[in-house]
């Protein structure tokens, strides 16, 4: 149970860092800018994904899902779902 809570909070923290913060040495800002450099007026699907907490957390939840004991797909969707609930509780 503790591992699931740690996985959810870690995924949420990394997601929020990439989507909404500058990050250390402005790394998150540079990442978002680099993805959108080609045509700032027409965002790529990757740029849109890096600006959405719910979208990015879905993909970042893959990492902990490999490490958690249990069924991979349920762990992946469970971590992503709990990150979504946490985000909705905090920001809606």
pLDDT (0 to 100) of residue 40: 64
Domain enclosing residue 79, as ranges: 2-91
DSSP string, the chain: -HHHHHHHHHHHHHHHHHHH---GGGHHHHHHHHHT-S-TTS--HHHHHTT-HHHHHHHHTHHHHHHSSS-HHHHHHHHHHHHHHHHHHHH-
Mean pLDDT throughout 61-65?
95
| pLDDT tens-digit series, residues 1-54 | 899 999 999 999 999 999 999 999 999 999 988 887 666 677 788 888 888 999
pLDDT confidence of residue 43 = 74
Q: How many domains does the chain have?
A: 1
Q: What is the sign of the dihedral through the CA atoms of 80, 72, 23 and 34?
A: negative
């Amino acid at each position: 149970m503790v591992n699931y809570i740690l996985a959810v909070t870690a995924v949420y923290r990394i997601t929020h860092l990439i989507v909404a913060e500058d990050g250390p040495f402005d790394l998150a800002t540079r990442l978002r800018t680099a993805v959108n450099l080609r045509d700032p007026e027409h965002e790529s699907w990757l740029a849109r994904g890096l600006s959405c907490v719910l979208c990015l957390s879905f993909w970042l939840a893959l990492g902990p899902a490999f490490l958690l004991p249990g069924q991979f797909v349920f762990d992946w969707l469970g971590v992503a779902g709990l990150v979504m609930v946490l985000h909705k509780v905090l920001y809606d």
